Amino acid sequence: DQQTAGYRSLQWNATNDAGSPISAGIYLYMIQAGEFRQTNKMVLLK
């Protein structure tokens, strides 16, 4: 699925794949688009 260039955002409800809430902590996330791949850290505070 191809999109035009521009700003994108998303919201995450801090649940795991089973739908259970996750603990506060440091999490890694990856963004991938075509051959581009970037991994970053996120701090979840509750």
What one-character-per-residue DSSP string does 4-46 give? Answer: -SS-------SB-TTSPBPPSEEEEEEEEETTEEEEEEEEE--
CA distances from 46 to 10, 21, 33 (A): 19, 11, 30
Domain coordinates in residue numbering, the chain: 7-46
CB distance 23 to 12 below 8 Å: no
Average pLDDT over residues 20-35: 94
- Arithmetic mean of pLDDT, 31-38: 92
Query: What is the percentage of the chain residues whose pLDDT exceeds 70?
Result: 100
> What does the pLDDT read at residue 2?
82
> How would residue 20 be classed by pLDDT, with cut points 50, 70 and 90?
very high
